[in-house]
Structure 1
Amino acid sequence: MDGTNTLSFESKLQQLLDRVDNGIDKSEGSIIYDALAPIAMQLWIEESKFRSILEQAFAVTAEGRFLDLIAKDYGLERTPAAAAMVELAFTGIVNAVIPDGTSVGIENSDISFATIGDAVIGSGGRTTVMARCKQAGAIGNVNADTIRLLFDPVKDIWTVNNSRPASGGLNQEPDEALRGRILYQKRNPEHGGTESDYKRWALSVTGVTYAEALNCNRGLGTVDVVVGADADIERVCGEVRRLIELKKPLGVDVIVKPVIPELMTVKAKVVGLSESAAKNAVYGYLRTVDIGGTIYLSKIVAALITAGAADAVILLPKENLQLPIDRSLQAEVIIV
């Protein structure tokens, strides 16, 4: 039922009044008007409910659990939330041990991280160890130089810090992303092994956020499927590989590989902004660059100015950078 054709409460009431003999007083406040008004209101409410229920039957309008049910019809599932990861640098006395699961956090925040595996302070009085956010979701993608608190005091350990932002924190797949995967399945039926088929098969795997098929990339009869995922990429690639092996035409040599990190150094001269604030501003922009996207120097400068810099000059790279369709950005930011 198209919402544009749905009558308003007033229109429904008028329809009911039009069925009453004109010889009877139908003006507002009359007996017949007051008797029909609640009926018109209830009819309007029930129709609105029916329209809402009907919209949940279609992928383009369904939401929440109803969209999940439609996804199941196509063998899809909503990608669950994932926890952010971060590299932490600890300082302390040489040979001091940082136990697995050591809790660290951020001042004036409930966000906390736990180290993964034991670590030992090296000869330079420093060591690094990976940590996972205790709260799943994008909330764990904290800025650089923010994790400074040791919640679990460890003997002979002095400081902790993260020189780079935490990454990989992923909220539960939103409706629009799941809807996009469903509609891609609906609108791209299988054709026996075309490029769109390989992309279709890859996107049907829970956790895949990006997929591209490169036909004949290694010669005739070969297909390279590039897969992106916000978490657990090796497991996701494995599932894509198993699915494609079941569906691909005989004789086709298929490789499934993760998106390749494109290493890049961003070096900027900034006036009027602290180093940590400038780094976070640049990283904030770079996180918006998608796989195969373009890094614009002007947008880096704009991000710094917006963050409060009086002036900014990008020293590296020298020009805008277009990422290939199988590359994601992994940048190091240097502020001078």
Structure 2
Amino acid sequence: MFEAMTYESILNEMLSRVENDVDKREGSILYDALAPCAFELAQTYFNMDNFINLVFGDTAVGEYLDRVVSDYGITRKPATKAARKITTNKEVPIGSRWGLEATTYQVMKKLDGTGNSYEAECEQTGEAGNHYNGTLVNIDNLSGVTASLTDIITAGEEEESDDNLRARFYAFVQSPSTSGNAYNYRKWALEVPGVGDAKVYPLWNGNGTVKVMIVDSNMSIDTGLEAKVYEHIETVRPIGAAVTITSPASKEITVSAKITLDGSRLLKEVTADFTAAIAEYLKGTIFEAYTISYAKIGSLLLSTKGISDYSDLLLNGGMSNVSIADTQMPIAGAITLSEAG
């Protein structure tokens, strides 16, 4: 809005208002007196431009986006802690603490029917608690006990990103949400920390039934979220509906092709970049498309830095689009690129 209000334009406008019989050259008394004022005015206009962006949902970020959406009763989902499985050589007390690398874990309960296996909560929030496996060090000086950190029971999630919060805000204000319709169920599912997207199937098993399919904030499968979403929806849904919460089945998309390098990068570098591009493309199709485009994969190959051409492109062994069922989500399988002979 104030892009034209630069330091130079403001200073020139100020100088133009002074009579020409006065010395206005750079270094003159008048010039040196007006220049600092012009700079401060330009900075003020720059700040005003940014301040305007911070009060609208499409451009607000951070705490300013929080304030925009709070007017509609929406709050940013907080970071959550990972729940992990710990196995020990003998029984350990509930509440005992263990450490591995930069993370610590507290034993919360014993897992039924599993011998000396326990559920432990990571004391650090976010995805840090998902990353490690291996031998744990006891913090409470328990003697004669060895323990290992194994499975993820519930993955930890980072604080909701601006993009996800903005998407929830748009879904709320742009979708006609009424008492117990499909938009309501999607909204309720998205309110649960860790849920990245949801799809609702009304009347999926007859009258009075609703199925909600969810993925986590990384657009991947986390079955540990299903119980949390179910419990939340049960507290807010209308009386009478039988709700089922589930996760989509994964369908691997394998890609192979012969490529011609342009000489600027190595094969392993272009393979890494292309694999990342494929993963990002597939994330964007979840709940949105039921076909993985052969042509789109080809365009991703050509847009990968270092590749000048390709041939023999295969998706899941064929040279055509790959269909995705309504209850499936595509994930990247084996990506095999080789240099053309």
Partner of 2:256: none
**TM-aligned CA distance change 1:204 to 1:183, over 3 Å:** same
Partner of 2:20: 22
Partner of 2:165: 178
Deviation at 1:98, TM superposition (A): 0.5
Q: What's the C-alpha RMSD, in Å, of the aligned pairs? A: 4.1
Are 1:99 and 1:117, in contact at CA under 8 Å, matched by a contact in 2? no
Taking only the aligned residue pairs, the percentage that are identical comes to 26
- Gap regions ≥5 residues in structure 1: 247-252, 266-284, 297-316, 330-336
Deviation at 1:199, TM superposition (A): 2.6
Are 1:198 and 1:213, in contact at CA under 8 Å, matched by a contact in 2? yes
Q: Distance in 1 between matches of 2:178 and 2:59?
A: 27
Write out aligned runs for 1:1-336 (5 A).
Answer: 2=1, 5-91=3-89, 96-106=90-100, 109-118=101-110, 127-145=116-134, 147-157=135-145, 159-164=146-151, 168-190=155-177, 195-196=182-183, 198-200=185-187, 202-203=189-190, 208-219=195-206, 222-228=209-215, 233-245=226-238, 254-260=241-247, 262=249, 325=327
Instruction: Say how many residue pairs are matched.
Output: 272
Are 1:233 and 1:258, in contact at CA under 8 Å, matched by a contact in 2? yes
- Gap regions ≥5 residues in structure 2: 218-223, 253-275, 293-315, 332-341
Q: Distance in 1 between matches of 2:9 and 2:102?
A: 52
Deviation at 1:216, TM superposition (A): 3.5
Counterpart code for 2:52: L
Deviation at 1:324, TM superposition (A): 5.3
**TM-aligned CA distance change 1:17 to 1:235, over 3 Å:** same
**TM-aligned CA distance change 1:131 to 1:221, over 3 Å:** closer
Are 2:226 and 2:246, in contact at CA under 8 Å, matched by a contact in 1? no
Counterpart code for 1:152: D
* TM-score (norm. length: structure 1): 0.65
Partner of 1:269: none
* TM-score (norm. length: structure 2): 0.65
SS in 2 for 1:98: coil
Deviation at 1:204, TM superposition (A): 5.1
**TM-aligned CA distance change 1:20 to 1:167, over 3 Å:** farther
